């Protein structure tokens, strides 16, 4: 009997310890993140995903700063002051390598990271959007995702692929990633041609134009989130890069009126009313006080919140701004032989844009003064302004009218210049070539420090002019475009280098 | 679960009983010298009856007549079994244990006699780590056991040592062993969130450790399954013994000082040298005061009128004072024993403001409630404070601007920490120490002013650590034991950081303070059922089955406050304008296991064992895996053919072998298998949700297949023992965070089980009593380990893993065919005798001559020996760079390591000498690059031996002002790779025991004085302070062998007193 009790004790002890296991601890639910299974299950989560596309496109190595900086410093208008490879000395001297971490590697990675997020979001929104937010918002969001994807691909093409003009897009373009990747095993993908990538960009932007809202809820959102006109505006830039001037005119006419004052209110091609884009009377406004005017078609906003600003050595003001007690590291001064030698920037000039260049009296150097806020450098990063649409249209008109200096093209050029300089009302051009030259010069003046110079050199397959100690780079020279990221080369077995 | 029920059913098969009629046996137990022995267990052969001898060695036991034998045992003596026969009085003399074979060894969830152990287990007595000027026990383990490699990575107090058992066994996960304290696994690692180090194991007072058993092979570790791949270390803390209450007090005081700081230029040499270099290569006029542009490095008069000549090592290092007090009280009755201890230790490091203090209390109680039930419990509390001013330059801080290790060398000697008016010497132009009279270097002749940092900044961490357990043993039958053990390990870490607004790292945020709290909580509960049974005196079985749960949670939060509003504030509660969060962390994991062990021996001659464990781990949801270890041993000397002639020399011989499979999970993220989206960041002030982690739902354990073959040979009645072991460990399914091509846009490198690696080697331990006379004894232990590590597979498409140091410099490359973390540098020669240029070799071995700076036309930074530009095949200019030209250059893993310890006793004196050694490895001495940096940095005195003129033969190139390439800063070169082989006189202790008869009068049982020295001398050709350092510490198995700006190690002398009552 006693023994039986002992056996019972032994057995029950074992059973007690056996049943105490906590099965639920074996499948813990993370509390600081959202599972991918439910990431698109509420309207807030879907919206959060859409915002994350913008958030990542403005990553420090991409549109918050460095993409724009590289666009400028590859051109002839800047002089490198520090020789620091971390801040683009190799980009400036047109010889970055595939292992240049801060430029070639990081820009590629950030843009593609954003592209994958776009793809993941497109799939998530398409699957769950209709039931969670309804058809209209679903389409709006898909439009935004495809707009950002188009912006990423377009931006990558400008550095990593031969211009469209070189063989009408037949040269190697980019690996075209169009499906969301959420796990390992998708490293290998060959490059599509430049033309194929451009075709995808246009397809995305056409979709965006159709599906984006005509206007967003506030002026701020009209500048910082895409709407129909944002897609159209970007198309004028894309078609210009493809030298498809007829398409530039078609697109621009959707948001530009036939004659001055040029606005989006009474466009040549009427459609439902979108955001009423127009030039601001004082150009400095859009860089110093109000970042969300109707001229700023699309800009990336900044705030002091953690992660909502460019981060160390990525800020536009850090690169371009001046010495002394003013913010910035003065990484790049303006090349005295570059565009600042234009009379617009001379001491006697009446042009308001002179005020966007700063003369450092201590060292006699001049600097771009468009981004003036101190650390943490919260100036918005401009992507596309209405004045660019006007000049894109002006150039397309000029280039398609061989007979004469296209009158509407000239009027558009005047409008841009007149805004800053009343004396410009009388500028004139006699020939097509003259008008084109004036427009090209005007772009360098108007968009100095906004990252467009590289695009303009590339699309026209022009030699990159010499500057400082850096010799000129012809389209046939090594280094005319960037090499492919060494990381991509080593991990994507189907990738080919430039 | 099902397995356990099976075991229990098996229990029912054994039915035993004995008729009960009793007789009483009495007697006296003495030692070899005839002195009575107290506390000897006297038990009947069936284990049902038992008693202990009293202080006079007397015992009395009542046993049934059916019982034929009595067994006398005590841990310090060889057990004996006597036949009772018709005797009613049995007196017996026990022989003290000469050999290690009688020792009790802790194995998983049980203990075994050493001679019955079939796995590979090394044991180290607690005495080896007590009375040492260390913060945690494992710092003193170096050289004590074969296969155990301990490296002290820096001189910062309480830095966790690099702890490896039989080499590096993982690439991405931890290579540190599992630590089990009194049956409960504990949290390890550096838990401090500040610049101070905070080793979690420092809460165990080394003075409280009874023994350490280090399990190395699969047989010994498999019962810990998925956590066993790096070995298992069992720590047993001291417990009370039956007998009179014993009180022991130990106190020691000592001093620590720095050694081996490289010699740098003094102020005169510095100014002369820098001016010479500037004038010859920068074209600056440093020589003609009347000439144009005259500017130079100047000597400045200090307050005493003499030129300032600062030895920065004296500003940064100090002689640290240590004191240590331990008191313990232990004792017990037949049924209850207790151990209580309290300790206080306060140590000052060689670095100013680097302090460690620990207050700890430990209480153990064991009681036998009845024949059926025993209870035990333990509670320990420890408070540790780790203090330092700011970045030390060690462990992740290698390139910190204010790293003290570097400031001690790089700051210019002709400036002072103070201006002549007594104020701090700070630059007005930038966040640097002021340049005083130096006009040449623009704005900077040093980094931070360490004196200011010591005064204003702090980066402290305080740990409150509670460990406890409670256990119950129920023995329904003498052959069946149920044991339940519940333990907790709670660690609360408070970090307290302040960085001054005016100078140093705090300038970025205009002064900031951090307060973070991290909580690491763990509980474990194990339940085991054990059967011990012997049939016919020959067939001995031990079967153990059990279940275990191990639950860990981590949580952390904190506050960072920026922009201090008034210099008076230096606490988090003071005035600041900006608050942001800090130190957020949340994690949890859970391990649920069932396990069983089976041991059988036939007549103590043939042994077999099997260990099984099945684990389920929350970080690998849905996975379940069984780990195992099998072993066998043959006590050859028990065979008949082992005649007396052989036995005279070879008193015992045991052959043993084992194989098995164990796993590794340490370091797998709690949620690594999940694909997730997070909300880090805002867009235009609005919340986002972003795909942030691609998980791998198929992730599994890393598995190690271990094979072990060994022999234990006893000589001369086991007075000497030789243990020799061959092992091989094949690791497969190594988890690598496999990079995806950037264009795939996956947010992280996805963990996958793809790598393979092996370690193999030979271990040899020779130990014993060489001399054992009444007045003089000499015991020795020599151990040697040869380990060979090789990576045999990485992920498809992944040819290398580069591991950086301090985020800036990469000299470790892990690739197939080499040991993990092989040193990967560009080969360099000396200076070209003709031009003084640095000789570099490109990938294919061509000699390229390098010179820094802007050169006249026709000369090139990189040129061929014929003076032409170094070009690519395409004709474009190129450079020597790591990506293109670095080669697998040297092995950072010691091929051989071990120790040699000797203890001599002569009458009342004892002398303990420990040497440790490591050989067959190289170090990348990155600090050396800094010592030859030709910017404002101060230099090694060796620059004076550099190239000056045509024909000079030297390894130091022509100095070029501003040059930070030819020295290896810009690209790692073999100039900075040195052999690390060393023999270190690690510890020397001389003690004197005051004779017992003198002490009797003052009622003191024992009293011992001792003096002890730690790190007394290093025999090495390594030019740095100590080859036993590691910039990358314990964390990165693939980042070993780098010494970059690491704080030097300390040399400690202590005197102590140990009194027992």
Per residue in B985-1022, pLDDT tens? 999 999 999 888 888 888 888 899 999 999 999 999 99
Confidence band, pLDDT 50/70/90 cuts, at residue B719: confident
B73's CB contacts (< 8 A; 6+ apart) are: B40, B41, B43, B79, B80
Minimum Cα–Cα distance from B884: chain A residue: A99
Question: What value, to the nearest 5°, has the Cα angle with vertex B451 and ends B449 and B453?
Answer: 75
Name every chain B residue with its beta carbon within 8 A of the beta carbon of A308.
681-685
Pairwise CA distance, residues A53 & B683, whole Å: 9
Both structure tokens of B11: 């229990």
Q: Compare all CA atoms of chain B with the CA of A176 and give the residue at the minimum distance.
A: B743
Are B685 and A30 an interchain contact pair (Cβ–Cβ within 8 Å)?
Answer: no
- Helix ranges restricted to H, B417-546: 450-456
Mean pLDDT is lowest, of A241-245, A459-463, B67-71, B310-314, for: B67-71
The pLDDT, as a whole number, for residue B585 is 94
Rounded to a whole number of angstroms, the distance from the CA of B365 to the nearest CA of chain A is 23
pLDDT (tens digit per residue) in A70-94? 999 999 999 998 878 888 888 998 9
| Calpha distance B325→B341 (Å, rounded) | 10
3-state secondary structure of B724: strand
Contact status, residue B386 vs residue B460, Cβ threshold 8 Å:
yes
Distance between CA B636 and CA B809 in Å, rounded? 55
Residue found under tokens 């052989």: B646
* Distance in angstroms (rounded) separating the CA atoms of residues B385 and A192: 60
Closest Cβ–Cβ partner in A14, A51, A181 for B529 = A14
Structure tokens, B1056: 């102590």
What local confidence, expressed as pLDDT, does residue B96 receive? 65
What CA–CA distance (Å, rounded) separates B880 from B870? 9
Q: What value does the mean pLDDT take over residues B631-654?
A: 88
Pairwise CA distance, residues B15 & B554, whole Å: 48
Tokens linked to B176:
């540190």
User: Which chain A residue has its CA at the smallest distance from B875's CA?
Assistant: A478
Q: How many CB atoms lie within 10 A of CB B8?
A: 20
Residues B884-936: tens digit of each pLDDT: 899 999 999 899 999 999 999 998 899 999 999 999 999 999 999 999 999 88
Q: Is A359 a residue whose pLDDT tops 90?
A: no
Q: Average pLDDT, stretch A393-404?
A: 94
B580 closest CB neighbour out of A36, A306, A308: A306
Q: Is B696–A99 a contact, with Cβ atoms under 8 angstroms apart?
A: no
Tell whether A308 lies on the interface with B, counting CB pairs under 8 A: yes
Joined tokens for residue B313: 């090592």
Alpha carbon distance B142, B914 (integer Å): 9
Beta strand pairing call for B606-617 and B585-602: antiparallel
Q: What per-residue confidence (pLDDT) applies to B41?
A: 82
Whole-number average pLDDT of chain B? 89
B750 touches chain A (CB under 8 A): yes
In a mutational test of the B interface, the residue from A1, A17, A175 whose CB has the highest number of chain B CBs within 10 Å is: A17
Dist. CA A204–CA A232, nearest whole Å: 11
Q: B484 vs A13: CB contact, 8 Å cut-off?
A: yes
Looking at residue B14, its pLDDT comes to 38
Looking at the complex, report in whole angstroms how far the Cα of residue A439 sits from the nearest Cα belonging to chain B.
Answer: 34
* Token duo for residue B233: 């270390």
Residues on chain A touching B477 (C-beta within 8 angstroms): 6
Using an 8 Å Cβ cutoff, are A9 and B474 in contact?
yes
Whats the size of chain A, residue-wise?
498
Is the Cβ of B10 closer than 8 Å to some Cβ of chain A?
A: no
Instruction: Find all residues with CB under 8 Å of B329, minimum gap 6, and list them.
Output: B245, B246, B247, B248, B338, B339, B340, B341
Count, in order, helices (H) and strands (E) of chain A: 17, 9
- B167-203 pLDDT, tens digit each: 889 988 988 999 999 999 999 999 999 999 999 999 9
Who has greater pLDDT, B755 or B74?
Answer: B755
**Contacts for A257-265: CB closer than 8 Å, 24+ residues apart:** A258/A408, A259/A408, A259/A411, A260/A411, A260/A414, A260/A415, A261/A415, A262/A390, A262/A411, A262/A412, A262/A415, A264/A229, A264/A294, A264/A386
Q: How many CB pairs under 8 A join A and B?
A: 236
- pLDDT level of residue B1036 (50, 70, 90 thresholds): low
Residues in contact with A297: Cβ distance below 8 Å, sequence separation at least 6, in sequence order: A223, A229, A230, A233, A275, A277, A383, A384, A385, A386, A389
d(CA B756, CA B748): 22
Q: Which one, of A239, A246, A189, A186, lies nearest residue A209 by Cα?
A: A239
CA distance A337 to A454: 17
The structure tokens 């307290």 sit at B496
- How many other C-beta atoms can be found within 10 angstroms of the C-beta atom of residue B822? 26
Q: Residue B285 CB: number of other CB atoms within 10 A?
A: 16
Query: Structure tokens of A16?
Result: 């007690």
CA–CA gap between residue A493 and residue A496 (Å, rounded) = 8
Interface touch B685/A308, C-beta < 8 Å:
yes
pLDDT band at B945 (very low <50, low <70, confident <90, very high): very high
Using a CB–CB cutoff of 8 Å, tell me whether A498 touches chain B: no
* Cβ contacts of A489 within 8 Å, gap of 6 or more: A98, A495, A497
DSSP state of B382: E
With CA atoms as reference, report the closest residue to A184 among B743, B754, B696: B696
CA separation for the pair B340, B247 (Å, rounded): 9
Q: At residue B676, what are phi and psi to the nearest 5 degrees?
A: -135, 165
Extract the tokens encoding B995: 């004779």
Residue B597, strand partner residues: B544, B611
Q: What is the pLDDT of residues A254-287, one digit of tens each?
A: 999 999 899 998 999 988 889 999 999 999 889 9
CA angle A351, A357, A362 (to 5 degrees): 130
> What sign has the CA pseudo-torsion B169, B173, B177, B183?
negative
β-sheet bridge partners, residue B495? B461, B516
User: What ipTM, to 2 d.p.?
Assistant: 0.91
Task: Please report the pLDDT score of residue B565 as a whole number.
Answer: 94
* Cross-strand partners of B898: B784, B917
Answer yes or no: do A113 and B476 touch at CB < 8 A: no
pLDDT digits (tens, 9 = 90+) for B865-890: 999 999 888 777 888 888 889 999 99
B371, B689, B815: best to mutate for the A interface, most A CBs within 10 A: B689
The pLDDT-based confidence of B68 (bands split at 50, 70, 90) is: confident
Task: Tell me the residues of chain B between 146 and 185 that have a Cβ less than 8 Å away from chain A.
Answer: none
Give backbone dihedrals phi and psi of A304, rounded to 5 degrees, phi first: -75, -10
The pLDDT of A156-183, averaged and rounded, is: 94
Q: Which residue of A has its CA nearest to B545?
A: A14
**Please, are residues B538 and B18 in contact by the beta-carbon 8 Å criterion?**
no
Beta carbons of B675 and A48 less than 8 Å apart: no
Pick the residue from chain B with its C-alpha nearest to A6.
B476
| Residue B536 to residue B539: CA distance in whole angstroms | 6
Pair B60, B96: CB distance under 8 Å? no
> What's the Cα-to-Cα distance from B1034 to each of A409, B132, B159, B205, rounded to whole Å?
68, 21, 9, 21
Residues forming a β-bridge with A176: none
b/e per residue B537-560 (b: at least 16 CB within 10 A): eeebebbbbbbbbbbbbbebebbb
CA dist., res. B995 & res. B884, Å (int): 71
The sheet that has B232-237: what strands, in order across it? B121-125, B209-215, B232-237, B178-181, B184-185
Distance CA A308, CA B687 (A): 10
Distance CA A11, CA B548 (A): 17
Under 8 Å CB-to-CB from B564, ≥6 apart: which residues? B501, B510, B511, B512, B513, B570, B574, B575, B576
Contact B881/B862 with Cβ under 8 angstroms?
Answer: no
Q: Residue B18 — pLDDT band, cuts 50, 70, 90?
A: very low
pTM metric for this prediction: 0.85
Q: Which residues of B touch A175 (CB under 8 A)?
A: 743
Q: Does residue A146 surpass a pLDDT of 90?
A: yes
Using the structure block, give the residue that is written with the tokens 């206080």: B344
Q: Which residues of A touch B750 (CB under 8 A)?
A: 183-184
For residue A481, give the DSSP letter.
S
Residue numbers in B near A120 (CB within 8 A): 691
Give residue for tokens 């094979």: B707
Touching B: A residues 10-39, CB under 8 Å? 10-11, 13-14, 16-18, 20-22, 25-28, 30-36, 39
Antiparallel, parallel or unpaired: β B22-30 and B92-93:
parallel
pLDDT at A330 (0 to 100):
84
């Amino acid at each position: 009997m006693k023994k039986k009790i002992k056996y019972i004790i032994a057995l029950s002890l074992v059973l007690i310890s056996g049943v105490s296991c906590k099965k639920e601890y074996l499948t813990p639910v993370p509390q600081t993140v959202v599972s991918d299974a439910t990431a698109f299950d509420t309207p807030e989560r879907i919206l959060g995903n859409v915002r994350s596309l913008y958030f990542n496109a403005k990553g420090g190595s991409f549109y918050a700063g460095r993409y724009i900086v590289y666009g400028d410093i590859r051109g002839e208008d800047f002089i490198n002051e520090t020789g620091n490879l971390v801040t683009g000395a190799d980009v400036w001297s047109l010889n970055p390598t595939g292992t240049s971490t801060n430029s070639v590697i990081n820009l590629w990675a950030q843009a593609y990271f954003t592209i994958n997020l776009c793809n993941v979001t497109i799939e998530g929104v398409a699957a769950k959007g209709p039931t969670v937010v309804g058809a209209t918002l679903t389409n709006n969001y898909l439009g935004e995702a495809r707009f950002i994807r188009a912006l990423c691909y377009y931006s990558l093409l400008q550095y990593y692929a031969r211009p469209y003009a070189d063989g009408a897009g037949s040269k190697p373009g980019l690996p075209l990633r169009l499906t969301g990747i959420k796990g390992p095993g998708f490293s290998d993908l060959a490059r599509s041609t430049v033309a194929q990538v451009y075709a995808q960009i246009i397809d995305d932007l056409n979709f965006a134009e159709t599906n984006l809202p005509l206007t967003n809820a506030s002026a701020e959102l009209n500048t910082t989130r895409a709407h129909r006109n944002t897609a159209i505006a970007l198309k004028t830039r894309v078609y210009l890069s493809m030298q498809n001037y007829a398409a530039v005119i078609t697109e621009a006419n959707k948001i530009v009126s036939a004659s001055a004052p040029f606005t989006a209110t009474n466009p040549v091609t009427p459609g439902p009313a979108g955001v009423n884009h127009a030039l601001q009377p004082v150009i400095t406004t859009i860089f110093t006080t109000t970042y969300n005017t109707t001229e700023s078609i699309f800009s990336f906003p900044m705030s002091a919140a953690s992660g909502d600003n460019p981060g160390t050595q990525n800020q536009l003001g850090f690169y371009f701004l001046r010495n002394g007690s003013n913010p910035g590291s003065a990484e790049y001064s303006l090349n005295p032989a570059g565009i600042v030698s234009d009379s617009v920037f001379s001491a006697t000039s009446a042009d308001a844009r002179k005020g966007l260049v700063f003369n450092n009296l201590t060292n006699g150097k001049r600097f771009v003064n468009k981004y003036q806020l101190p650390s943490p450098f919260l100036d918005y990063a401009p992507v596309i302004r209405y004045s660019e649409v006007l000049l894109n249209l002006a150039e397309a008109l000029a280039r398609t009218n061989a007979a004469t200096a296209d009158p509407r093209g000239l009027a558009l050029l005047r409008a841009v210049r007149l805004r800053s300089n009343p004396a410009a009302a009388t500028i004139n051009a006699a020939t097509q070539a003259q008008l084109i030259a004036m427009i090209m010069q005007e772009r360098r003046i108007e968009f100095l420090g906004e990252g467009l110079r590289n695009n303009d050199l590339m699309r026209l397959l022009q030699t990159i002019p010499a500057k400082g100690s850096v010799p000129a780079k012809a389209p046939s020279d090594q280094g005319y475009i960037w090499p492919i990221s060494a990381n991509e080369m080593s991990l994507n077995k189907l990738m080919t280098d430039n | 679960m099902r397995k356990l029920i099976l075991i229990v059913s098996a229990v029912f098969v054994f039915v035993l009983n004995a008729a009960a009629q009793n007789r009483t046996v009495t007697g006296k137990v003495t030692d070899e010298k005839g002195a009575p022995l107290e506390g000897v267990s006297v038990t009947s052969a069936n284990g049902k009856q038992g008693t202990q001898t009293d202080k006079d060695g007397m015992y009395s036991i009542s046993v049934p007549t059916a019982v034929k034998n009595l067994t006398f045992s005590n841990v310090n003596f060889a057990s004996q079994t006597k036949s009772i026969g018709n005797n009613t009085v049995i007196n017996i003399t026990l022989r003290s244990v000469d050999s290690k074979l009688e020792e009790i060894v802790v194995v998983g969830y049980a203990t075994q006699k050493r001679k019955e152990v079939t796995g590979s287990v090394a044991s180290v007595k607690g005495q080896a780590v007590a009375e040492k000027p260390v913060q945690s026990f494992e710092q003193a383990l170096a050289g004590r056991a074969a296969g155990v490699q301990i490296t002290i990575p820096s001189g910062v107090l309480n830095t966790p040592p690099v702890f490896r058992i039989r080499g590096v066994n993982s690439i991405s996960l931890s290579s540190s062993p599992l630590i089990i304290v009194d049956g409960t696994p504990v949290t390890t690692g550096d838990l401090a969130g500040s610049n101070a180090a905070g080793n979690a194991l420092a809460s165990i007072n080394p003075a409280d450790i009874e023994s350490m058993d280090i399990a190395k092979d699969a047989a010994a570790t498999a019962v810990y399954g998925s956590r066993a791949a790096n070995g298992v270390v069992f720590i047993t803390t001291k417990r009370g013994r039956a007998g009179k209450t014993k009180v022991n007090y130990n106190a020691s005081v000592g001093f620590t000082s720095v050694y081996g700081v490289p010699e740098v230029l003094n102020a005169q040499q510095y100014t002369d040298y820098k001016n010479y270099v500037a004038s010859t290569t920068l074209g600056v006029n440093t020589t003609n005061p009347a000439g144009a542009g005259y500017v130079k490095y100047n000597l400045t008069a200090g307050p005493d009128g003499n030129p300032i000549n600062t030895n920065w090592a004296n500003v940064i290092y100090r002689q640290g004072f240590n004191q240590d007090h331990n008191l313990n009280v232990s004792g017990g009755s037949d049924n209850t024993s207790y151990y209580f201890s309290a300790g206080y230790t306060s140590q000052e490091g060689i670095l100013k403001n680097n302090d460690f203090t620990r207050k700890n209390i430990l209480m153990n109680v064991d009681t036998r409630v009845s024949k059926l039930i025993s209870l035990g419990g333990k509670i320990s509390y420890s408070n540790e404070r780790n203090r330092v001013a700011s970045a030390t330059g060690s462990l992740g801080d290698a390139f910190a601007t204010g790293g003290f290790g570097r400031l001690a060398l790089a700051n210019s000697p002709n400036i002072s920490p103070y201006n002549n008016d007594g104020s701090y010497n700070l630059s007005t132009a930038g966040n640097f120490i002021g340049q005083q009279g130096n006009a040449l270097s623009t704005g900077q002749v040093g980094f931070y002013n360490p004196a200011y940092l010591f005064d204003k900044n702090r980066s402290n961490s305080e740990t409150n650590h509670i460990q406890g357990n409670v256990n119950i043993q129920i023995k329904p039958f003498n052959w069946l034991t149920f044991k339940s053990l519940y333990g907790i390990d709670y660690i609360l870490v408070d970090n307290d950081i302040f960085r001054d607004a005016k100078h140093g790292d705090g300038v970025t945020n205009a002064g900031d303070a951090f307060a973070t709290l991290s909580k690491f909580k763990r509980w474990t509960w194990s339940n085991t059922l054990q059967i011990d049974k012997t049939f016919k005196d020959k067939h001995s079985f031990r079967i153990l089955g059990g279940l275990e749960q191990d639950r860990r949670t981590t949580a952390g939060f904190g506050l960072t406050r920026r922009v201090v509003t008034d210099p008076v504030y230096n606490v988090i509660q003071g005035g600041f304008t900006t608050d942001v969060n800090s130190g957020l962390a949340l994690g949890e994991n859970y391990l649920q296991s069932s396990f069983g062990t089976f041991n059988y021996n036939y007549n103590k001659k043939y042994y077999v064992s099997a260990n099984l464990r099945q684990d389920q781990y929350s970080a690998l949801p849905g996975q379940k895996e069984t780990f195992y270890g099998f072993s066998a041993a043959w006590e050859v000397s028990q065979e008949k053919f082992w005649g007396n002639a052989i036995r005279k020399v070879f008193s015992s011989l045991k052959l043993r072998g084992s194989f098995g499979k164990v796993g590794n999970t340490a370091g797998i993220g709690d949620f690594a298998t999940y694909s997730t989206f997070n909300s880090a960041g805002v867009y235009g002030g609005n919340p986002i949700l972003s795909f942030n982690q691609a998980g791998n739902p198929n992730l599994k354990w890393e598995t190690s297949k271990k094979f072990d073959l060994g022999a234990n040979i006893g000589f001369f009645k086991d007075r000497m023992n030789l243990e020799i072991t061959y092992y091989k460990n094949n690791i497969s399914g190594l988890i690598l965070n496999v990079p995806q091509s950037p264009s795939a846009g996956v947010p992280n490198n996805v963990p996958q089980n793809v790598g393979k690696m092996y370690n193999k080697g030979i271990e040899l331990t020779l130990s014993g009593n060489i001399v054992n006379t009444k007045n003089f004894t000499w015991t020795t232990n020599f151990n040697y380990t040869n380990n060979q590590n090789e990576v045999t597979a990485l992920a498809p498409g992944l040819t290398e893993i580069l591991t950086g140091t301090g985020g800036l410099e990469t000299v470790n490359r892990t690739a197939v065919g080499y040991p993990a973390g092989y040193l990967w540098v560009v080969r360099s020669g000396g200076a070209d005798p003709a031009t003084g240029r640095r000789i570099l070799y490109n990938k294919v071995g061509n000699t390229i001559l390098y010179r820094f700076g802007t050169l006249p036309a026709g000369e090139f930074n990189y040129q061929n020996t014929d003076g032409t530009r170094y070009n690519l095949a395409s004709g474009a200019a190129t450079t020597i760079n790591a990506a293109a030209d670095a080669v697998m250059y040297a092995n950072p893993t010691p091929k051989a390591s071990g120790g040699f310890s000797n203890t001599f006793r002569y009458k009342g004196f004892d002398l303990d000498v420990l040497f440790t050694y490591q050989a067959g490895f190289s170090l990348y001495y990155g600090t050396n690059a800094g010592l030859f940096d030709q910017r404002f940095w101060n230099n090694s005195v060796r620059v004076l031996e550099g190239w000056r003129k045509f024909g000079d033969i030297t390894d130091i190139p022509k100095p070029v002002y501003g040059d930070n390439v030819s020295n290896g800063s810009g690209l790692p070169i073999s100039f900075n790779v040195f052999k690390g082989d060393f023999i270190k006189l690690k510890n020397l202790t001389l003690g004197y025991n005051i004779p017992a008869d003198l002490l009797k009068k003052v009622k003191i049982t024992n009293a011992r004085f001792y003096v002890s020295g730690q790190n007394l001398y290093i025999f090495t050709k390594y030019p740095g302070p100590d080859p036993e350092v590691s910039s990358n510490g314990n964390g990165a198995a693939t980042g070993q062998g780098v010494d970059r700006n690491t704080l030097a190690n300390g040399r400690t002398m202590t005197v102590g007193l140990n009194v027992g009552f």
